[in-house]
Each structure stands twice: as structure tokens, then as C-alpha cells.
Amino acid sequence: LLVCPSLVYADALTDLQSLKDTINDAAKTIGSPDNPGRGWGLLPPKGVPGTADLVQNITNSVLKIKFNLDSERLSWLNGTNPIVNGTIPTITTSAAPSRLPTSTLLFPTGPSSAPMIPPSAPNGLPPNLPPTANLTGVSLDNPYLDYITAIPTLSGALIDLGRAWHREMNTPVRQAVQGLQLSINAFSTSLLESDLIHSNATIRTIRASTSLENAKLAWSRLLNFPG
């Protein structure tokens, strides 16, 4: 039995686990035989979240996590001490690079040009520019795979409900599914650019996106007709 070292990040891991739970809860609600949105009818049920609301809630969660990654990457990864087999790895940071010489800039620098960078900023760079980070060896593949593999189950529940008689209008649900599809792809791109996930995670993301594309087709007809 081979035991591979694994990284555990409090904020990143908690966010991804919470996202997976949100997806599973939505899939369970949508796919339930007792879903009040099932059956023929002209009006959606009152007092319960609709399918579009459940999907939109997932999208909001994905975008929130993406924002944390893009704006507070080191804090997101280092919410508490990451541990590898009892050893705390160090994520190093380096200072922002100095301003490029004028000769290397790709835009005009004459008097008529609007200043691209505030002259008072240190090193000629905006003061809120985050430091660069060396994240070599850091991986979120496993928790990411746990989250992304929950998407096809959600898609299956959406397809099942969309192809049956349902009370909800198709367009809001289809638009919500499209928003989720775009958000998971954008989140995956951010993680790839940070080298936090790798090829296997990319393949699973493509499969998840394809399953959501099929879910959209199940909600593609006019009004609330089954797809």
C-alpha cells in the first residue's frame, strides 16, 4: 500500500468541501420524487426554492471561492498551516518587480498618453498589486476532484426533472445552468493558471461542463414543456 503525501488547507479545503455539499444538497432536492416542482402545472410551487434558485446558489458559491483565490490567494491557501505528513511547507513570496524601462513598454509614453501607472506608487506599480508567490508543489487536485465530480450528479437530476412534466418555466433554469457552466470553467481556469490543479482535474472539468450542456438541452423548450 503506497501512501502519498497530501496537502490540507483550511480555507481552500473547507470551501471546496462546502461547495461539494451544496451541490449534493441541490441535486438531492431537484431529483427527489417529492419535489413540489414535479408534475403538470402552470405555476411554480410557493415557499420553496425553485430549481433556478438552487443552481444560482451554487454559482454564487463558485464565484465567491474564485474571488477569494484571485484576490487573496496566499490567505486562501494558508488559512491555517498546510500540512504534508506532519511537515509544514513554506509558500514563499517575492517582492513585486520594478517598473519596466520606458524602452520596453508596449504603449506610447509621450505627454498625450494617459498615465497607466500612478507615479507615486512604490516601484512604479499600483500599491494594491499582490506579491508573487512560489507555489511549487502545492496541489488542490484531490479536493477539487471531490467537488467537480459532484456536478454530473446534479446534471443528472436536472435532466431527469427537465424531461418530465414540471411546473417551472424552462428559460430561468436554462439560464441558471448556463451561468453555472461558465462559473465552473472560469474557476478551473484560475486554478490552472495558479498551477493548483492539473491534467486529471482538467479532464473532469470538461466532463462536468459537458454534463451541464446536456442539462441545458433538457430545459430548452418553450414555456415549461418537458425537454
Give the CATH number for residue 172.
1.10.357
Ranges of the chain with pLDDT below 70: 1-10, 79-137
74 in any annotated domain: yes
Q: Provide CB contacts within 8 A for 19, sequence distance 6+.
A: 58, 61, 62, 65, 147
What pLDDT, on a 0 to 100 scale, did the predictor assign at position 136? 52
201 in any annotated domain: yes
Q: Which three cell numbers stand for residue 38?
A: 414535479
127 in any annotated domain: no
CA separation, residue 38 to residues 25, 32, 42, 157 (Å): 17, 9, 11, 12
3-state class (DSSP) for residue 38: strand
3 in any annotated domain: yes
70 in any annotated domain: yes
Give the chain's domain count: 1
145 in any annotated domain: yes
What pLDDT, on a 0 to 100 scale, did the predictor assign at position 97? 42
Range of the domain at 214: 1-33+52-83+136-227
101 in any annotated domain: no
227 in any annotated domain: yes
Q: Quote the pTM value.
A: 0.73
